[in-house]
Amino acid sequence: MANTKDSYHIITMDTKESSIPNLPMKEIPGDYGVPFLGAIKDRYDFHYNQGADEFFRSRMEKYDSTIFRTNVPPGPFNARTFMSSPSFNGGYKVCGFLGTTDPKHTTLKGLFLSTLTRLHDKFIPIFTTSITQMFTSLEKELFEKGTSYFNPMSDNLSFEFLFRLFCEGKNPVDTSVGTNGPKIVDKWVFLQLAPLISLGLKFVPNFLEDLVLHTFPLPYFLVKGDHQKLYNAFYNSMKDILDEAEKLGVKREEACHNFIFLAGFNSYGGMKVFFPSLIKWIGTSGPSLHTRLVKEIRTAVKEAGGVTLSAIDKMPLVKSVVYETLRMDPPVPFQTVKARKNIIVSNHEASFLIKKDELIFGYQPLATKDSKVFKNAEEFNPDRFVGYGEKLLKYVYWSNGKETDNPTVNDKQCPGKDLIVLLGRLLVVEFFMRYDTFEIEFGKLLLGSKVTFKSLTKATS
3 state DSSP class of 165: helix
In angstroms, rounded to a whole number, what is the distance separating the alpha carbons of residues 156 and 183? Answer: 9
**CA-based max dimension of the chain:** 66
Residues 6+ apart with CB under 8 A from 221: none
In angstroms, rounded to a whole number, what is the distance separating the alpha carbons of residues 85 and 283? Answer: 39
In angstroms, rounded to a whole number, what is the distance separating the alpha carbons of residues 260 and 262? Answer: 5
Q: Helices (H), strands (E): how many in the chain?
A: 16, 10
Please indicate if the annotation marks 414 as binding a ligand.
Answer: yes
In angstroms, rounded to a whole number, what is the distance separating the alpha carbons of residues 81 and 192? Answer: 10
* C-alpha distance from residue 337 to each of 82, 208, 317, 400 (Å): 8, 29, 35, 12
Alpha-carbon torsion (431, 434, 437, 440), positive or negative: negative
In angstroms, rounded to a whole number, what is the distance separating the alpha carbons of residues 321 and 288? Answer: 14
H-assigned helices in 354-406? 364-367
Q: At what angle do helices 150-166 and 123-145 cross, to 10 degrees?
A: 160
In angstroms, rounded to a whole number, what is the distance separating the alpha carbons of residues 33 and 3? Answer: 9
3 state DSSP class of 335: strand
Q: Which residues are annotated as a binding site?
A: 414
Annotated binding site for heme: 414
